[in-house]
Amino acid sequence: MQFTRLRLNGFKSFVDPTDLIIHPGLTGVVGPNGCGKSNLLEALRWVMGENRASAVRGAGMEDVIFAGTDSRGARHFAEVTLQLDNSARLAPAAFNHADTLEVVRRITRDAGSAYRINGKEVRARDVQMLFADASTGAHSPALVRQGQISELISAKPKARRRILEEAAGISGLYQRRHEAELR
């Protein structure tokens, strides 16, 4: 599934609603140090269901909310919207009735995260599964952090296998099997 638009609102340094239109092919993000390039990628990871604050360089998940500057007050929520082209109809059955999918994650101070897919409230797990099946997702090897290549080289066999499973697009199955075993 092709990502077509990323919208940030109150996420980290993106205090005002900001749209990133993603065209097919290669997209480059350039800018001076501290302008928010890494924040953009973290927003992508976050909307796909990332639940480790450390993965978005925070101590707690609320740290993704715009914290304020000398001239602007802090916000009380952050929202990221990811739009996907589903014209190939690859989404799970529950969400596979539209050509466009819109995944929204919103975090409010003291109220945690809420997710919506095409306006319908869903669980974090639904969003994570949607992307795990599409072999993207917050933990996908398609998103390479700084330092991750050296981690892959030095990873223990079990951890390396997990990375290969993500790349093969079978981690959704793996998660479902794990949940079935717990029941």
Q: Rule CB under 6 A: is residue 147 a binding residue for ligand ATP?
A: no
- Binding ligand ATP (rule: CB under 6 A), the pick from 3, 5, 13, 124 is 13
Asked whether the beta carbons of 133 and 172 are under 8 A apart, the reply is: yes
Q: Which residue is nearest to Mg ion (CB)?
A: 38
Q: Rule CB under 6 A: is residue 36 a binding residue for ligand ATP?
A: yes
Q: Is 38 annotated as a binding residue?
A: yes
Q: What's the token pair of residue 165?
A: 């499973």
Residue 108 binds which entry of ligand ATP, Mg ion, none, CB below 5-8 Å type-dependent: none
Can you state the angle between helices 124-133 and 171-182, rounded to 10 degrees? 140
Q: Cα separations (Å) of 147 from 20, 151, 180? A: 26, 6, 34
Q: Cα separations (Å) of 158 from 29, 131, 163, 164? A: 34, 22, 9, 10
Stretch that binds ligand ATP, among 59-67, 79-87, 110-118, 128-136 (CB under 6 A): 59-67
Question: How much is the CA Rg of the chain, to the nearest whole Å?
Answer: 17
From start to end of the chain, where are the E strands?
2-9, 18-21, 77-85, 100-108, 112-117, 120-122
Q: Rule CB under 6 A: is residue 10 a binding residue for ligand ATP?
A: no
Q: Is 157 annotated as a binding residue?
A: no
Q: Rule CB under 5 A: is residue 38 a binding residue for Mg ion?
A: yes
Q: Rule CB under 6 A: is residue 24 a binding residue for ligand ATP?
A: no
Minimum distance from CB of 135 to ligand ATP (Å)?
A: 25
Sites of contact with ligand ATP (CB under 6 A): 12-13, 31, 33-39, 63, 65-67
Sites of contact with Mg ion (CB under 5 A): 37-38
